Each structure stands twice: as structure tokens, then as C-alpha cells.
Amino acid sequence: MRQTRRIRESDFSAGARNMAVDSAIAGAVGAGRQPATLRLYGWNPYSLSLGYGQRIREADSEALRRNGWDLVRRPTGGKAILHGDELTYSLCLPLDHPLASGDIVASYRRISTLLLRALEALGLSATAEAADASAGRASSGPVCFAQPSHYEILVGGRKLIGSAQLRRKGVMLQHGTIPICGDVARVCDALRFESEAARAKQRTRTRQRAVTLTEALGRSPAWDEVADALEAGFAHALELERQPGALSAEEEVDAAALVRDKFGNPAWTGKR
């Protein structure tokens, strides 16, 4: 099996930089210039990310400014996430990689087994099952963690890891978010609702359906401990390099251009 580059960033970045780096890596992997890559990172400042097809009107720009939170649109799909007290992973694989073969749901299932292995390393038992499509339609809303999708990770029936995937130009990019601590319903403070009663209802629903790692474990793990576990969970299937990798000079140039022209550009972020 081919080796996978490991990029672990303990110095957290703004939302536009994070999405630009993931897209630059995906471009390099898809073109065959770089090997499959697992990237682990965080966010600073907090950032509301919208799914690629999500409407910009769902974000509350005034609340974002008031709280000092960024706004970014992900290249992957899904619903809104407020990134902050978490670890995010991105996995870029050539489409002929064993983990990426078949359709998106099949690859979700394979990758979920690696995530479950990572949680086992932390001492946590979790599950991943096919989603109930009818339940998803009935409870559609703006918050990612309020509803599990196919083979997302659950603890006691509550969503712990949210994931989204993009396939294009020979590469698969999967994003995943692991909330370590904090309030999973704080995302509701960054979104627009028709009334405060509707906001409160969504906040309650999100807390009922999502969980942080700290709550699930009954202790507060450090970011590096979670990163270690994730690398351990992925290690065998991906043959992770022993030494940390880094962005190439070409990827850095591409990422800077993507921040300028795309992910840091309000016109692109607000295009939907």
C-alpha cells in the first residue's frame, strides 16, 4: 500500500487558510504531485463554516462580527459548523486508493472503521451505521451536528464526529470535525432563525443529538492526545509516514492564491 503523508498543525489557522490548504493539498494529490495526505488542525479565531451548497443567508453576519468569529464556505458539503474547541481532520486520497473505491457511502463506511479505532485508543466505544434517510428529511435544518449522515460516529445515539466529502479531478477530500469540549449548540448563536423561540428549539435539539468528546469520555483530553489517537487509528490502513510531512512550496503558493481569490473572498463565500 502507498504511504500517506501526515501533516499535524498545532499552530491553528483562520478559516480561509484552513480551507485553502485542504484544497491545495487535494489539487496536488489529484494531480499525482503528492501522496495521499492526512492533515490534522484547529481553528483560530473561531469560524462558522457553511457547506458548499448552503445559503449565505443562514449565517448571522452581525452575530459573527459581535463575537469576533470568521465565516468561510467549505469546499465539501453538509450543514453549518462553528469550529473552535475541536480537532479537524482532512483526508485527501487518489480515487484509486482502496479507502476511496466505490461510492461515497462505501468510503464513509471504510473510513468510519478507522475513526472508531481512534476512539478506542482514547477509551471510548462508539458506533457508525447507515443513516435513516426519512429521518434526515424530516429533521432538515441548518446545523451539521443536529443530524447524523451515513456512517458518522455516534456515542449513545448522539453524533460525535461529523464528516463531509468531495470528489473531483482524481481526488477524494473528506473533512471531519471532532468537538473536544465546549457547547455543541453554540453554533446556533451564529445562525439566523425566524424567532428566538426557533433558535432556542434548535439549540435544545442540537444538545440532545450531539456530544463532545469531553462529555463522552467523562474527562477533558488534550488536543495532542486526540491527534495521537487519530493518527494511531489511521496508521495501519494509510501507512502513515513516521516523520511529519509539510506542505510543498507549490502547495503554499496555491493555498495563498486560494485564500485571496476564493476562501477569503466575501464575493465567493456569499455566492449562494
Catalytic residues: 144
E strands along 95-157, which residues? Answer: 127-128, 153-155
Q: How far apart are alpha carbons 193 and 200 in whole angstroms?
A: 9
Are the C-beta atoms of 161 and 177 separated by less than 8 Å? yes
146 closest CA partner among 78, 87, 90, 98:
78
Q: 172-190 burial string, b = 16+ CB within 10 Å, else e?
A: bbbbbbbbbeebbbbbbbb
Distance from CA of residue 39 to its chain's centroid?
Answer: 11
Q: How far apart are alpha carbons 153 and 36 in whole angstroms?
A: 23
238 closest CA partner among 40, 76, 35:
35
Are the C-beta atoms of 160 and 216 separated by less than 8 Å? yes
H-run or E-run covering 250: helix 249-258
Q: Where are the alpha helices (DSSP H) in 181-247?
A: 196-209, 213-217, 223-238
Size of the chain, expressed as the number of residues it contains: 272
